[in-house]
Amino acid sequence: MKNKKPLILISNDDGYQSKGIRCLIDMIRDMGDILVCAPEDARSGYSCAFSATQYLTLKQRSKEDGVEIWSCNGTPVDCVKLALNQFCRDRMPDMVIGGINHGDNASVNTHYSGTMGVTLEGCMKYIPSVAFSLCDHYEDADFEPMRPYVRKMTKRVLEEGLPKGVCLNVNFPLVSEFRGVRVCRMAHGTWGNECVKCHHPRGYDYFWMVGSYTNDEPENDDTDNWALTHGYIAITPTQIDVTAYEALRSMKNGNWEE
């Protein structure tokens, strides 16, 4: 790849063949040299997991002017780590993008998302990083309405960067027309009914992890869930530092230290 354009590293948790990642490449391919390293198959829910007990493989899937696509048998984070180690030793990416994800990654889904795992890994390497997700799990979802927003946000991050230790979690509602963009905090929400027990004909029980999500503060209009419910694109600045600073100050003043 030539060094005249920014280098953008893309990965996801839906697999290198998913429509979301293919649409993302098409949306921004003129904005930089594109390096894709994504899982061979779906890896949803892998968060920041990486492979510590199995070997990893890389396969080149295609290479054309300005776009190089590789797949990996590991997790989304494995893909980013391998790409940086194997392909970016002499040229670090100017930006890491996760997505476009099939399904939202708002609220506590942030902590489970492999798409956010990609973005957090880039952020931990001090690379400006953004995750894009659409509230549609359909494999043939329509990502085209996102195009001008994805391009605008990508351009802005490439030009301005992001604060150290901060990445962006961007979620798009499933609506015919977006009402606008909101910068939001993560909503408080919970998952329930997460385990479905089934009985196998051979005599043992097995379980499916499913569940239903509840927004625990539906009336608060400063959250990502509220924005998505009301047709707005939600941008949530997300930080690597998970220290609870208010609790830290309280504990320091509360005789916890000896």
Tokens representing 52 are 């510590």
pLDDT over 60 at 2, yes or no:
no
> Which amino acid does the sequence have at 181?
V
Q: pLDDT value at position 3?
A: 59
- What rounded mean pLDDT belongs to the chain? 94
Q: Residues 90-108: what's their mean pLDDT?
A: 95
pLDDT digits (tens, 9 = 90+) for 56-92: 999 999 999 899 999 999 999 999 999 999 999 999 9
Q: pLDDT value at position 255?
A: 85
pLDDT band per the 50, 70, 90 thresholds, residue 46: confident
Residue with tokens 């929400």: 189
pLDDT band per the 50, 70, 90 thresholds, residue 1: very low
Instruction: Give the β-pairing of 129-134 and 166-172.
Output: parallel
Q: pLDDT value at position 75?
A: 95
pLDDT digits (tens, 9 = 90+) for 228-249: 999 999 999 999 999 999 999 9
pLDDT band per the 50, 70, 90 thresholds, residue 193: confident
Q: Are 134 and 20 a contacting pair, CB within 8 Å? A: yes
Tokens representing 185 are 């905090």
Share of the chain above pLDDT 70, in %: 99
> Which amino acid does the sequence have at 153?
M
Tokens representing 169 are 């979690």
Q: pLDDT value at position 47?
A: 86
Q: pLDDT value at position 155?
A: 97
Torsion of CA 25, 35, 5, 239, to 10 degrees: 90
Q: pLDDT value at position 223?
A: 97
